[in-house]
Structure 1
Amino acid sequence: MLERMSPRLATFVVFLLNGAVFGTWASRVPALAEQIGAEVGSLGLALLGASIGLAFTAPLAARICAVHGSRGVLIASSLLSPLLLPVLALSESPLQFGLTLIALGASVAAMDVSMNVAAVVVVRALQRPLMPQFHAGFSVGGLIGSLGSAAAAQAHWTPMKHFVLAAVVGVLVTALIAKRIPGGVGERHREEVTERANVLKSPVLWLLASVALCSAIAEGAAADWSALFMVRERGMGDAAGAYAYAGFSVTMALARWFGEPIQRRLGSHRLLAVGGGLAATGLALAVLVPFPAAGYVGFGLAGLGLAFSFPVVMDLASETGKRADGSGGERELGLVTTIAYTGFLAGPPIVGGLAHVSSLVVSLGFVALVTALIIPTTLLARRAARQAASV
Structure 2
Amino acid sequence: MVSARTAVFVVFALNGCALGSWAPRVPAMSTQVGAVPGSLGLALLGASVGLLVAATITGRLVERLGARLVMALSTVAAALMLAALGLATSVLWLGLTLFALGAAIGVLDVAMNVGAVFVEREAGKPLMASFHAGFSFGALAGALFAGLAASNGWSPSRQFTLAALAAILVLLTVVRALPGIKPTHRPTEKRSAVAPIKRPVLWLLATIALCSAIAEGASADWSALLLVSEHGIGEGPAALAYAAFSLAMAIARLTGGALQAKVGERPVLAGGALLAATGLLAAALISSPVIGFVGFALAGAGLAASFPVALGLAGEAGKRADGGGGEREIAFVTSVAYTGFLAGPPAIGGIAQLTSLSTSFIVVALVAALIAPATVAALRAGRRERERSYC
Q: TM-score range by the shorter chain?
A: over 0.9
- The alignment status of 1:334 with 2:314, answered yes or no, reads no
Provide closer, same or farther for how the CA distance between residues 211 and 191 of structure 1 changes in structure 2, counting only shifts above 3 A. closer
Equivalents in 2 of 1:142, 1:304: separation in Å?
A: 14
The aligned counterpart of 1:373 is: 370
Equivalents in 2 of 1:325, 1:177: separation in Å?
A: 27
Residue pair 1:244, 1:296 contacting (<8 A) in 2 also:
yes
- The alignment status of 1:246 with 2:213, answered yes or no, reads no
1:62 Cα deviation from its structure 2 partner: 1.2
The aligned counterpart of 1:120 is: 117
- The alignment status of 1:141 with 2:138, answered yes or no, reads yes
Equivalents in 2 of 1:185, 1:100: separation in Å?
A: 30
The aligned counterpart of 1:87 is: 84
**1:8-47 maps to which residues of 2 (within 5 A)?**
8-47=5-44
Residue pair 2:110, 2:334 contacting (<8 A) in 1 also:
yes
Instruction: Report the AA paired with residue 305 of structure 1.
Output: G
Residue in structure 2 matching 1:304, options 279, 282, 301: 301
1:13 Cα deviation from its structure 2 partner: 0.2
How much identity, in percent, do the aligned residues show?
A: 52
- The alignment status of 1:171 with 2:171, answered yes or no, reads no
Provide closer, same or farther for how the CA distance between residues 305 and 24 of structure 1 changes in structure 2, counting only shifts above 3 A. same
Equivalents in 2 of 1:200, 1:191: separation in Å?
A: 18
Q: Which moved more, 1:350-359 or 1:168-177?
A: 168-177
- The alignment status of 1:385 with 2:382, answered yes or no, reads yes
Q: Please list every run of 5 or more consecutive structure 2 residues that lacks an aligned counterpart in the other structure.
A: none
Equivalents in 2 of 1:285, 1:190: separation in Å?
A: 47
Instruction: Report the AA paired with residue 108 of structure 1.
Output: I
User: The residue matched to 2:172 in structure 1 has which SS?
Assistant: helix
- The alignment status of 1:215 with 2:212, answered yes or no, reads yes
**1:192-203 maps to which residues of 2 (within 5 A)?**
197-203=194-200
1:174 Cα deviation from its structure 2 partner: 1.2
User: The residue matched to 2:231 in structure 1 has which SS?
Assistant: coil
Provide closer, same or farther for how the CA distance between residues 101 and 196 of structure 1 changes in structure 2, counting only shifts above 3 A. farther
Q: Which moved more, 1:43-52 or 1:160-169?
A: 160-169
Listed one character per residue, the Cα deviations across residues 116-161 of structure 1 (whole Å, up to 9, x for unaligned) are 0111110011111000000000000000000000000111001111
Equivalents in 2 of 1:128, 1:378: separation in Å?
A: 21
Listed one character per residue, the Cα deviations across residues 45-88 of structure 1 (whole Å, up to 9, x for unaligned) are 10000000000110211111122211111000111111112211
Residue pair 1:67, 1:189 contacting (<8 A) in 2 also:
no
Instruction: Report the AA paired with residue 166 of structure 2.
Output: V
User: The residue matched to 2:377 in structure 1 has which SS?
Assistant: helix
Residue pair 1:279, 1:305 contacting (<8 A) in 2 also:
yes
Instruction: Report the AA paired with residue 161 of structure 1.
Output: R
Residue pair 1:27, 1:242 contacting (<8 A) in 2 also:
yes
User: The residue matched to 1:284 in structure 2 has which SS?
Assistant: helix
Listed one character per residue, the Cα deviations across residues 305-340 of structure 1 (whole Å, up to 9, x for unaligned) are 000000000110111111111111100000000000
Listed one character per residue, the Cα deviations across residues 337-365 of structure 1 (whole Å, up to 9, x for unaligned) are 00000000010000000000000000111
Equivalents in 2 of 1:230, 1:186: separation in Å?
A: 48
Residue in structure 1 matching 2:258, options 258, 261, 267: 261
Equivalents in 1 of 2:110, 2:194: separation in Å?
A: 17
Q: Which moved more, 1:196-205 or 1:67-76?
A: 196-205
1:188 Cα deviation from its structure 2 partner: 2.2
Equivalents in 2 of 1:23, 1:197: separation in Å?
A: 37
The aligned counterpart of 2:346 is: 349
The aligned counterpart of 1:271 is: 268
1:190 Cα deviation from its structure 2 partner: 7.3
Equivalents in 2 of 1:86, 1:16: separation in Å?
A: 18
The aligned counterpart of 2:99 is: 102
Residue pair 1:197, 1:331 contacting (<8 A) in 2 also:
no
The aligned counterpart of 1:236 is: 233
The aligned counterpart of 1:160 is: 157
The aligned counterpart of 1:283 is: 280
Instruction: Report the AA paired with residue 6 of structure 1.
Output: S
Equivalents in 1 of 2:188, 2:251: separation in Å?
A: 41
Residue pair 2:72, 2:171 contacting (<8 A) in 1 also:
yes
Equivalents in 1 of 2:92, 2:193: separation in Å?
A: 37
Instruction: Report the AA paired with residue 279 of structure 1.
Output: A
Instruction: Report the AA paired with residue 292 of structure 2.
Output: G
Equivalents in 2 of 1:154, 1:85: separation in Å?
A: 20
- The alignment status of 1:50 with 2:20, answered yes or no, reads no
Q: TM-score, normalised by structure 2?
A: 0.97
- The alignment status of 1:181 with 2:154, answered yes or no, reads no
Aligned length: 387
Listed one character per residue, the Cα deviations across residues 104-125 of structure 1 (whole Å, up to 9, x for unaligned) are 0000001111000111110011
